Amino acid sequence: MDYTLQAIIRRVQVDKLDDDEFDTGIITRFVNDTQRDIFNQFELPFQEKIFAGTVPSSSSMFSLPTDLALLQGISMADTPGFSATRMKWKDFFSKYPDNTSAEPGKPSAWTLYAGNIIFDKPTDKDYVLTLFYIRKPIVLTTPTQVPEIPQEFEELLVLGAYIRCLKFNEDNDQAAYHEIEYNKLLDLLVTRYGGRVSPGSIKMANQQIRMRRR
């Protein structure tokens, strides 16, 4: 079976719920919730992205990519050590309150604010800016879309959506039972893909799907 949103929905309906009339819209939302939950917890290689763009001459700010979730690294051509010149936004605005009116030149300080990189002065020429970051997951909306969790861990999305369906139906005991299997698979995912960088993956939040017991 193909690794698509449609295939995962079908597996949840037939293999797990044994109900091929269960609302596909609800399952779609739960599949997206599961994928988003995994992306929000870890920094793993399949979440990484590199973006290179040109900062035009006379620019005092540069818009970040809309899919950026966490900036991990940055470099600017012809500007050695650019990454180390980042400032906290409060300190930056205190030191450079009128950066747009400064004499154009090579940026020597920058900060992040409101989805933008803001420079201490307008640029004196075009610069190539390269960003290394953890991206947001795509939202799965069409049946043929391929999820962003590696295919060998497809069962994570199936189980994650299934558990949410069980909770939706107030079958919390069954949900709790399947959460054990889900968390084992999640640990395997992190072990497989997080071991590239010592000491392992960076855990951003609690990895378990929590259930409020009655």
Share of the chain above pLDDT 90, in %: 90
pLDDT of residue 209: 43
DSSP label of 85: G
pLDDT of residue 1: 61
158-200: per-residue pLDDT in tens?
A: 999 999 999 999 999 999 999 999 999 999 999 999 875 434 4
3-state secondary structure of 12: helix
124-149: per-residue pLDDT in tens?
A: 999 999 999 999 999 999 999 999 99
The confidence band for 206, taking pLDDT boundaries of 50, 70 and 90, is: very low
Q: Out of 66-75, 87-96, 205-214, which region has the weakest mean confidence (pLDDT)?
A: 205-214
Which ranges in 21-62 belong to alpha helices (H)?
24-41
Q: E-assigned strands of the chain?
A: 42-43, 48-55, 61-63, 68-76, 110-113, 116-119, 127-135, 202-203
